[in-house]
Amino acid sequence: MSFGSCTFATYLCDLKTKYYENTIALLPYEGDIRELPEDLLCATEMLIVYFDPDDKTLKSHLSEYCSFLNNNDIELGLLLTSKLYEDVKQGPAYSSVKESCKFQFDVIELSNNDDNSETTGYKEVVEVLKNNIWSNVIVPGANIDELNDDLEEQLEGFENLITSIQNFRRISSGMQRDQRLNEAEKLADLFIKMMNEDK
């Protein structure tokens, strides 16, 4: 794929979910991200950075990555590594990395799950890619009116849930403990029903 006078190796990735399908282009790059062509930056919707857990300069690079996202209006960042530590004295820990990058990046450890020897981090990366709403999304077999109706229905359900929660807070102070628990259970059921409808 070419941007200006630069040509980049490109890997196309087909994403298919219950709601949409599309193809995204993944462009590996090992140089200084500040030297990327402006045309490419305008088309970039996510920045994925792999870092070495033994790299002592990581912390200084995190603020650079955050500024890069902000300056180029890139909405999503992903930090990948082979290992995260429990103790920040040993190496990068999940919480310290998230804090250092001001929560602008998701952090994923590409590690093996000891229980079943599966590489769980790679599945997480795929989920992040699928959960993002890309600019080139194609919704199969759906027209705009149907999508608007679905969205309207979901928003109405969410509004009803919020209203129920507000009412519960207002009226529960005068209830007996068992009554409060019963009403709270109804709210929980309503929430679960909404979540299941979204699957």
Report d(CA 102, CA 85) in Å as an integer.
Answer: 19
Would you say the pTM of this structure is higher than 0.85?
Answer: no
Asked whether the predicted pLDDT for residue 199 surpasses 60, the reply is: no
Higher confidence at residue 97 or residue 163?
97
pLDDT at 141: 62
Answer whether 63's CB lies under 8 Å from 44's CB. Answer: no
Partnered with residue 25 across adjacent β-strands are 12
Higher confidence at residue 101 or residue 169?
101
Asked whether the predicted pLDDT for residue 156 surpasses 90, the reply is: no
Asked whether the predicted pLDDT for residue 66 surpasses 80, the reply is: yes
- Which two three-digit tokens encode residue 149? 């109706």
Classify burial at 19, counting beta carbons within 10 Å of its beta carbon; exposed 0-12, middle 13-18, buried 19 or more. Answer: middle
| pLDDT-above-70 percentage for the chain | 85
